[in-house]
Structure 1
Amino acid sequence: MSSEVVQQTGTPLRRDARERRTRLVAAAQQEFAVHGVDASLERIARDAGVAIGTLYRHFPTRLDLLSAAFEPRLQDFLDGADAALRVEDPWEGFVTYLENLFRVQAGDRGFNDFLSRRFPGNAETERVHDRMCDQIDEVLTRAQDAGRVRSDLARADIVNLIWSNGRMIDATSTTAPDAWRRQLHLMLDAYRAERAHPIAEPPMTDAQLYSAMVHLSRVDSA
């Protein structure tokens, strides 16, 4: 990705416009981290020292601003996920993937929201979520094929863990910020193939999971 910032038309921004954009992204990162993806855009504009109209000129939609604000953390997550897929031992790769996922999730409430939801109609966020789902499938399948992870574990079960872990992070972030690690490793024991026993309720289908993530987005932004 080029280091030169361009506006929506692809034209390079003037220096003063680049500075305003940089301030907006920095303010958005702080607000989203504390208040989640539904943080006040007016407050973000005010913290950046610009009018709300200036914010919308740079970022016509909330999702445009989210994408710009989360880009560094998102790249950190995706790079860590790719590294987990290169771990030779499939179980260790699976553990590494989840530890990386929840480490990044724990550091930013807004990014936690972003991981938990789907935003249909936005090609970039759909591309990112599709890549995340592909990575989950790959790291999970590797561990299952090696006989290390229970065979009935599905993508939806991992997303369920993202949802539950997100709630735990909200509750413990100021009092026990690393509490998620204990919960994750308790769940990892439940995921081991040798611990498996039949479960009457099947996992959600991919279609059900997608609908649930979209529903969560609509409910939380209402």
Structure 2
Amino acid sequence: MTVEVRHRRRSDARDNRERILAVARLAFATDGLDVPIREIARRAQLGPATVYRHFPTKEALLAAAFAEQMAACSAILEEGLAHPDPWLGFRLIVEKLMETHALDRGFARAFVTQLPAEAGFAADRARTLRMAAEIVDRARTAGRLRPDFVLDDLILALMANEGIRADDPTTRVAAARRFAALMLQSFQATPSRTPLPPPVRLPLPTHEIPHSRS
């Protein structure tokens, strides 16, 4: 085998892997985590064997697909944890997590979803949740966060933020900022009535009403 052929095969393999990951991220973010490998392969216009050659298990594909989002989650939480003001650190992670999720629907999945265990990924997720719990505890101990607030409430807010629907990314981010402000006011031990970001007009979901049979 010539050097040129080996180089081309390596390049094709890299391209296939990136295509699989791009398709998988979009599929998992829009259709949930139950999308089968065969469907991922079909959307990537590759054979299932090619997908399995790069990712021997569904768990390996999930972990690789969400690795970038998990790293982004960790960076935001590290920034919040490093903030000298416990409440401002908590506010920072709520705002940034929601804004980032508005641009990448797969983002929150890495934070709120218990994915199947895969080497490294489960440990990273556990570390991320520990940092979030510490940020919550600091803000609560400082008396700024309501005493009955728990980490599950933060996850609930992120899951609710996932319901924002708009084709325009700028609109989604603006809506996420307003939603974050509303949530933060409700999370405070003593709610303040600071002005909210401007309201955002979102498209309402439409459902076809079936015709009744006469």
TM tier relative to shorter chain: 0.7 to 0.9
TM-score, normalization by structure 1: 0.70
Q: Which amino acid aligns with 1:174?
A: D
Give 1:71 deviation, angstroms.
2.0
Instruction: Describe the shift of the 1:69–1:119 C-alpha distance in structure 2 as closer, same or farther (beyond 3 A).
Output: closer
- The C-alpha deviation readout for 1:91-135, integer Å capped at 9, x for no partner, is 111111111211232223333334332135445342232122111
- The C-alpha deviation readout for 1:54-84, integer Å capped at 9, x for no partner, is 1012112222112222222221221121112
TM-score, normalization by structure 2: 0.72
Aligned to 2:189: 193
- The C-alpha deviation readout for 1:152-206, integer Å capped at 9, x for no partner, is 211121122222222x22xx233741322222211111111224xxxxxxxxxxx
Output the CA distance in 2 between the equivalents of 1:189 and 1:101. 16
1:48 to 44, 47, 55: 44
Aligned to 2:153: 157
Aligned residues: 181
Output the CA distance in 1 between the equivalents of 2:63 and 2:166. 24
Are 2:62 and 1:66 aligned? yes
Aligned to 1:23: 19
Identity of aligned residues (%): 34
Q: Work out which of the two has the higher radius of gyration on C-alpha atoms and give 1 or 2.
A: 2
Q: Which runs of 4+ in 1 moved over 6 A?
A: none
Q: Where in structure 1 are there 5+ consecutive unaligned residues?
A: 1-12, 196-222
Output the aligned Cα RMSD. Answer: 2.5
